[in-house]
Amino acid sequence: MTVVFRDQVAEYVVGLQDRIVAGLEKFDPSAPKFNRDSWTRAEGGKGLSCAFAIPNPTRLEDTNTVLEKAGVNVSIVHGSLPLAAVKQMRVEHATLPSDPDSQEALPFFAAGISLIVHPRNPHAPTVHANYRYFEVSDPKDPSKIAAWWFGGGSDLTPSYLYQEDAIHFHETLKNACDRHAPGVLYRPFKKWCDEYFYIPHRKEMRGIGGIFFDDLNSADHHLLLSTDKDPSSSRPRSQEEIFAFVKSCGDSFLPSYLPILEKRAKTPFNEQQRRWQLLRRGRYVEFNLVYDRGTKFGLNTPGARVESILMSLPETARWEYQSEVGTNAESEEGKLLEVVRNPREWA
Catalytic residue list: 128
CA dihedral over 176, 250, 290, 77, signed as positive or negative: positive
How many angstroms from the chain centroid is the CA of residue 328? 31
